[in-house]
Amino acid sequence: MLFLIYVNDMVEYLGKYGILFMYADDTTIIVSASTQEETISKLETALSLFMKWCFYNKLKVNINKTACIGFSYGTRNPQTISIQTDDGQIINLVEKATFLGTVIDSKLTFSDHIDLVCIKLKKLHYLFLNLTNYLDKNALLSVYYAKVYSAFSYNIIVWGQSTEACRVFTLQKRVIRRIYNLKFNESCRDTFRNNRLLTFVSVYLLKILVYIHKHRLVLKRNRDNHEYSTRSGDNLYLPKCHHSKFKKSVQYAGCYLYNVLSPDIKNITNTNTFKNVLKDLLIVKCCYTIQEYLNVI
């Protein structure tokens, strides 16, 4: 708490040079521009001011843990560049970096993060091969929630719609088959539903919809854009989207998926009640894909 109070003026000091994110002692600044040269110039200015702020406040930047990523939509990789601080230290451009437990890559595919999640789940599947000989189903489910569920649900609203996320779902089903002694090619849908288990897709939907519901009062509505009374006036406003990656973002996908819910569910004011009602619905529907959710809700 004292540290947060100590650094709370950093946002005001650097805010006009980029978007600043702070979590404990991790600080991230996002700068953008129409060209790479302009972006680098803005980044160097922001970095210089940040280093000065740290110096004046008797703090030291750990350059070894500092990374710079150039995000782009195209298939062409950014030019190899490096950023130099005022005291001559070099910060190289990297293709990926771990941010608060999630591996973020320059193309925002999250494939590297999914690779790590899959490695964990494969090891856990091997663990369940042995545990099924010693534990009953209740104990196995306790291990499932403690290890498997926690591994793939962390920050799932960020990467859950990635193209490669289906690999995680495949491994989740493999573990479920092991717990309930199903054949390797046997469908898990009834097992998920009968045992009140959420599929990978349903976990993503639950997390992102609860997140949007918590922030629904500060999000823009369609009626805020015009003065006409329309049936969709109470729906959350969807910003203009020109790229598929933005359609999968929390900002767009969350609002889009939330608008599909019935008014009876969206009008629930208590967050815990909303979560429980939504969870019951997702268990019954047992969605394997986002499209299934859109078709059945």
Q: CB under 8 Å to 111, separation ≥6 — which residues?
A: 105, 162, 164
Same domain, 182 and 262: no
Same domain, 7 and 59: yes
Q: Is residue 64 part of a domain?
A: yes
The range of the structural domain enclosing residue 259 comes to 204-295
Please report the pLDDT score of residue 194 as a whole number. Answer: 97
Same domain, 191 and 225: no
Q: Kindly report, residue by residue over 192-244, the tens digit of the pLDDT.
A: 999 999 999 999 999 999 999 999 999 998 877 666 666 677 899 998 888 88
Q: What are phi and psi of 151, to 5 degrees?
A: -70, -45
Tokens of 166: 């289906």
Same domain, 211 and 123: no
Please say which residue of 59, 94, 129 terminates a domain: 94
Same domain, 180 and 129: yes
Q: Is residue 55 part of a domain?
A: yes
Q: Is residue 109 part of a domain?
A: no
Same domain, 150 and 211: no
Question: The pTM is what?
Answer: 0.90
More confident residue, 257 or 46: 257
Q: CB under 8 Å to 232, separation ≥6 — which residues?
A: 222, 259
Q: Kindly report, residue by residue over 57-100, the tens digit of the pLDDT.
A: 888 888 888 888 988 776 655 556 677 777 777 887 889 999 99
Q: Kindly report, residue by residue over 243-281, the tens digit of the pLDDT.
A: 888 999 999 999 999 999 999 999 999 999 999 999 999
Same domain, 218 and 148: no
Q: Kindly report, residue by residue over 89-132, the tens digit of the pLDDT.
A: 788 788 999 999 999 999 999 999 999 999 999 999 999 999 99
Same domain, 267 and 288: yes
Please say which residue of 149, 180, 197 terminates a domain: 197
Domains: count for the chain: 3
Q: Is residue 88 part of a domain?
A: yes
Q: Is residue 108 part of a domain?
A: no
Please say which residue of 197, 215, 241 terminates a domain: 197
Q: Is residue 105 part of a domain?
A: no
Residue 284's CB is within 10 A of a number of other CB atoms, namely 10
Please report the pLDDT score of residue 168 as a whole number. Answer: 99
Please report the pLDDT score of residue 295 as a whole number. Answer: 93
